[in-house]
Structure 1
Amino acid sequence: MKQLERGYSALMAGPVGVYISVPFCKAKCTFCNFASDAFGTERMQHYVDRLCVEIRGAHAAAERIGASLPSAVDTLYFGGGTPSLLSAQQFREIFQHLRGEFDLDTDAEITLECAPGQLADGTLDELLRQGMNRISFGVQSFVDRETTAVGRLHTRQQCYAEIARVTAAGVRDINVDLIAGLPHQTAQSWQYSVEQAIASGAPHISVYLLEVDEDSRLGREMLEQGSRYSASAVPDEDQAAEWYQHACDMLREAGVQQYEISNFARPGYPSRHNLKYWKRQPYIGFGLDAHSMLLAGPDAVRFANTSDLERYLGQGSAAKPLRLFESEQDATNGQVDVVGPGEAFEESLFLGLRLNEGVDLGILQSQFGESLLEQTMPALIEVRDAGLLELDTGRIRLTPRGRLISNEVFSRLLDPTAA
């Protein structure tokens, strides 16, 4: 048990990462079914009020479930939705409550997700005053026909202009999101988008394969073989996979190195916040559908807020107490999952394999003991023999082919009967 406690302590020690969910959009992408939508100004302010109450009660809530919540914060991530739609005053309120509950490091990485053309000058100025130093642009494509088809409101020219504007304002750490497999996309148009992302000078680029939720507008149309949302123009999965691999090659040649299945960075620019997820370091999420993982003795605990906006906002005045894990005003789903040694081992395996550096088997053994690793070794060898995994010098990592079908690899490792 002491060996496991030492393993967990080493794994989870250090400052916490904070994620803040802002579920507002000017328009919802056709393929998306996240807990986000277009809302009025009054609803947005009510949400911010609730968010601030939740932040203010964070340490008390963690204590109620026996979890350890560090006060030091070294990464802060505003995700959504489109967080940039909040006003300067609303961000000021959020930061005031964050600094009242946590100690935000002077060199903390502070990221804002942003849709091109949806960041007001006043909001940008306020965020810079608050220490924001990283922006992630949801570009998705530099081809207007493709972004229009999925309901995005920006143009290629707006993307160029926005990157130039925030760079001139002093933001050097910029990410550009691209999606392979959008409606009307071709091999040529995909190559163009990747070329433009590289030419933008952004030090971080994320490349995702299109995932269409069955309950989204595009998902329902694809099932029904309709035509309103360009379902018939969605490339097949094999094409998108080829384009993803081509992007990997192009980015590598341009000096933007892959460090995770979907993420590429120039030296010194990986996302510190997202690395917390993959390395199982502590983080706490606030807002709609936000997830958390904290240390609780020798174990870890995971919990998530409700994805129901009405439940999150509650009834009546925003000043009504919101006490997590305790009352009808509970913002969470009311469930705390304890992550014991077996589950922690599995998480360390499949989250670590998302990283190009892979998993150090010696560290895994020191943290969790020999038996769990021995039980998994036959599946590791089988996946290696299938050309999906490299296993050498005490370290395992996915091959390029393995990254393309990573979910299948993880299923084989966690459930040998899935092979």
Structure 2
Amino acid sequence: MQQASDNSMLGIYVSVPFCRAKCSFCNFASGVGTPEAMESYVERLCAEIDGAGANAVSLGAELPRRVDTVYFGGGTPSLLAPQQLRRIFAALRRNFDVADGAEITLEAAPGQIGDAILAESQRLGVSRVSLGVQSFIDRESASVGRLHTERECIQEIVRLRAEGLIEVGADLIAGLPYQTAESWEHSLEVATGVGLTHLSVYMLEIDEDSRLGQEVIAGGKRFHAHGVPAEEISAELYEQACARLPRAGFTQYEISNFAGAGHRSRHNVKYWQRTPYLGFGLDAHSMLRTTTGAVRLANPDELGQYAGAQSAREISRGGVTEAFEETIFLGLRMDEGVDFQGLAAAFPNELTKPCAEAVRDLVAEDLMTDEDGRWRLTLRGRLVSNEVFGRLLEGVAV
């Protein structure tokens, strides 16, 4: 059973931006790396972790030493060598107090978790694995460059559970090339019946910086761009998941996330609840408290820049208005929504009043609900959440 995340504790994100192959839809700061590049990166990563305390002091930020969640994302962190993972953990533990029972998550691709790295990760405290499945239909997976089959995915999940990992989750994408309501139903059926405890469901984003996105925009056929369903169909597939997964015991607790009872991602909840978190590595982001608000950091998204200079980080400081905006759009991502009474107690009337007026219009349009002062997005609102957030905040003076 998962523990509640302590708001006084820090969450840590570790970026490992190396993959065996890059998906055609991906625009993340990741790619195929040589063993030499990965070794050099781990050295730089450990140095950044060792400098975290001094960096926080220079920014006037509060840096909690106690840590209750660690998330290794990427990329494919399971491609690290066992000794590299040990060195990263050693750096974390000499600079922070990782709590007993901390939620430690490792992202992985099915078929790309070797026996040695699995054993070492468990020895070091990894308690949760998140698999980039995307689809249990072989044709759909292959169309975007995934290297696994449905059979391999199932075998991987069964193997991880047999090795004692209770928390095993997977990502699924609605809107992949050639996807239909019938094939999507198959993926949902497999996902809910194979022993997973957590599911993240995303609608395919046609990003102009990805290979697939460029081809879709150009109207071409490379990367199976001609097989990408219309946005309306992707939205219908998402709605299908929102209806199907709760019936199978996966409660939706955030726009894209569903979990069995007691199996929410404590680390991801930190982002939505504006709890301090610290990111290390390529394109990693951080949010720390200061005496006047918060400071946000963003590491470079180019490997050469990250390796060369820590001073290349982007730094932004936020005050009351920024905190209010984040409370709205992050809080509404979660199923529990935003409590207006708490909002009014924490923020001035000139911020809350125009937002409350906008809520009335959005409720009338069935994009939000307002039940006893608690604001939530409806299913329609989730599908156009960016539009809803924009309308809620358009009257807020920046």
Which residue is 2:42 aligned to?
Answer: 48
Distance change (3 Å), C-alpha of 1:214 and 1:346: same
Residue 303 (1) aligns with residue 283 (2): no
Say yes or no: does 1:124 pair with 2:104.
Answer: no
Between the aligned partners of 1:84 and 1:217, the Cα distance in structure 2 is 25
Q: Which of these residues, 264, 268, 272, is aligned with residue 266 of structure 2?
A: 272
Instruction: State the match for 1:137 in structure 2.
Output: 131
1:8-407 aligned within 5 A: 13-314=7-308, 329-330=309-310, 332-333=312-313, 335-407=314-386
CA change 1:307–1:182 in 2 (3 A) is same
CA–CA separation in structure 2 for the residues paired with 1:215 and 1:232: 18
> Structure 2 CA distance, aligned partners of 1:185 and 1:193?
10
Give ranges in structure 2 of 5+ residues lacking alignment.
none
How much does 1:332 deviate? 4.1
C-alpha distance in 1 between matches for 2:26 and 2:311: 23
**Among residues 397, 405, 411, which one is paired with 2:390 in the alignment?**
411
After TM superposition, give the deviation of residue 226 of structure 1 in Å: 1.5
CA RMSD of aligned residues (A): 1.4
Structure 2 distance, partners of 1:360, 1:310, is 44
CA 1:343/1:254 → structure 2, altered by over 3 Å: closer, same or farther? same
**1:56 to 1:213, Cα distance in 2 relative to 1, 3 A:** same
Q: Which amino acid aligns with 2:340?
A: L
CA distance in 2, matches of 1:185, 1:331: 44
Is the contact made by 1:12 and 1:295 (CA closer than 8 Å) also made in structure 2? no
CA displacement 1:319-355 (0-9 Å, x = unmatched): xxxxxxxxxx22542x321110011011001100000
Question: 11-20 or 375-384, which moves further after superposition?
Answer: 11-20
State the SS of the aligned residue for 1:230: helix
Which one-letter code corresponds to 1:88 in the other structure?
P
In 1: Cα distance, 2:247 partner to 2:61 partner: 45
Per-residue CA deviations over 1:159-196 (Å, capped at 9, x if unaligned) read 01110111111111111110000001111100000100
1:6-65 residue CA offsets vs partner (Å, 9 max, x unmatched): xxxxx9950000000000011100011110000100000000000000000101100001
Q: Partners in 2 of 1:120 and 1:309 — Cα distance?
A: 25
Residue type of the alignment partner of 1:38 = V
Asked if structure 2 preserves the Cα contact closer than 8 Å seen for 1:136 and 1:177, the reply is: yes
Given that residues 16 and 74 in structure 1 are in contact (C-alpha distance below 8 angstroms), is that contact kept between their aligned partners in structure 2? Answer: yes
Q: Which has the higher contact order (CA 8 A, sep 6+)?
A: 1
Per-residue CA deviations over 1:259-288 (Å, capped at 9, x if unaligned) read 000000111001000000000000000000
Q: How many residues align?
A: 392
Contact 2:158 2:195 in 1 (8 A): no
Distance 2:60 2:339 in 1: 30
- Return the alpha-carbon distance in structure 1 between the equivalents of residues 195 and 162 of structure 2: 13
- Which amino acid in structure 1 is aligned with residue 331 of structure 2? G
Q: CA deviation at 1:298?
A: 3.2
Q: Distance in 2 between the 1:72 and 1:25 partners?
A: 31
Contact preservation (8 Å) 1:303, 1:332: no
Structure 1 residue 212: Cα displacement: 2.1
- Structure 1 residues 101-122: Cα deviation after superposition (integer angstroms, max 9, x where no partner): 0000111000011100011100
Question: Distance in 2 between the 1:263 and 1:162 partners?
Answer: 21
Question: SS at the partner of 1:372?
Answer: helix
> Does the 8 A contact of 2:354 with 2:395 survive in 1?
no
Identity of aligned residues (%): 54
Distance change in 2, residues 1:106/1:406 (3 Å): same
- 1:367 Cα deviation from its structure 2 partner: 1.6
2-side partners of 1:126 and 1:12: how far apart? 27
Write the distance in 2 (CA, Å) between the matches of 1:376 and 1:141.
39
Residues 184-242 of structure 1, C-alpha deviation per residue, up to 9 Å, x if partnerless? 11111000001000011211111110012102111111122221211110000111111
CA distance in 2, matches of 1:416, 1:253: 39
Give the alignment's TM-score, normalised by structure 1.
0.92
Structure 1, unaligned stretches of length 5 or more? 1-10, 315-328
| SS of residue paired to 1:222 | helix
Output the CA distance in 1 between the equivalents of 2:291 and 2:162: 46
**TM-score, normalised on structure 2?**
0.96
Partner residue, 1:323: none
For 1:411 and 1:365, how far apart are their aligned partners in 2? Answer: 20
The alpha carbon displacement at 1:369 in A equals 3.3
Q: Which amino acid aligns with 2:170?
A: V
Report the AA paired with residue 340 of structure 1.
G
Q: Answer whether contact 2:305 2:312 (CA < 8 A) is retained.
A: no
